[in-house]
Amino acid sequence: MVNRASPEYWNREYRSCNLHIAKKKDIIRRWIESHVAPAGSADRTCLEIGCYPGRFLAVFGELGYELFGVDFAADLPALPAWLEQCGYRVGSFWAQDFTCFAPGRKFDLVASFGFIEHFTNWEAILAKHAALVDDKGCLVIEAPNFTGAFQHWLHSGLDPLNYARHHIPAMDIAKWAAFLQRSGFDITYCGYFGAFRFWTEPQPRTLTQRSILAGLRMLQPVLRLALPPDRKAYAPFCGVIATRK
């Protein structure tokens, strides 16, 4: 099982992250709030896989879930204390690699964001997600969309180092849905979401790449308005939400 994004890479990325809840206008936050029911008066639990820096886990805290998490981030110990300060109910957090994770319990909701697509053996990772979901529990999985024709061309041509950290066959949400259906889940959402958006990571680029990228950044506000949202070709994100029968 190969993880194309190493712990060293993530810890470098996390150095610039402040602990915060995703903003109200955040596309992924709006997607969560549109498709996940609040915990209500029930004592319901949520586990996020790859939980640091907690901006989406906090959204589930807002929805009333007791929060759990697993991550190998060096700064993970700061997260549960911050979540408690925010007034959320906080359970256990495990500082370890998810591939070795065995909490000995299940959860009402299991989620991951931008996680599964880094693994070449994504089916095993998805099965491990599913095994942690309790009866009638919910599974929420999101990934960036690098499979849509326009997004694929942009990332492979203008963002190659970031592209290489992702296993593109692992971004096939139709295969996620089919796998989960075979595993005893009902699919409540399977699709692509958000208006056109394109981001890159810093890396050396040719003059041609820099010129195309500069032009694209200028055009991006126009494209967001002109192109209908939630289309596979250019939507920035994709996801599946499923409920165990």
Say yes or no to pLDDT of 195 above 60: yes
Of 18, 99, 6, which is closest to residue 54 (Cα–Cα)?
A: 18
- CB count within 10 Å of CB 58 equals 23
CB 196 within 8 A of CB 227: yes
Give CA–CA dist 5/10, Å, rounded: 7
Q: What is the pLDDT of residues 1-58, one digit of tens each?
A: 455 556 666 556 666 678 889 999 999 999 999 999 999 877 999 999 999 999 999 9
pTM beyond cutoff 0.85? yes
Tell me the CB-side half-sphere exposure of residue 166, using CA atoms within 13 A. 22
Q: Is 137 exposed, middle or buried (0-12, 13-18, 19+ CB in 10 A)?
A: buried
Give CATH for domain 7-146+166-196+232-244. Answer: 3.40.50.150
What does residue 161 show for φ and ψ, rounded to 5 degrees?
Answer: -70, -45
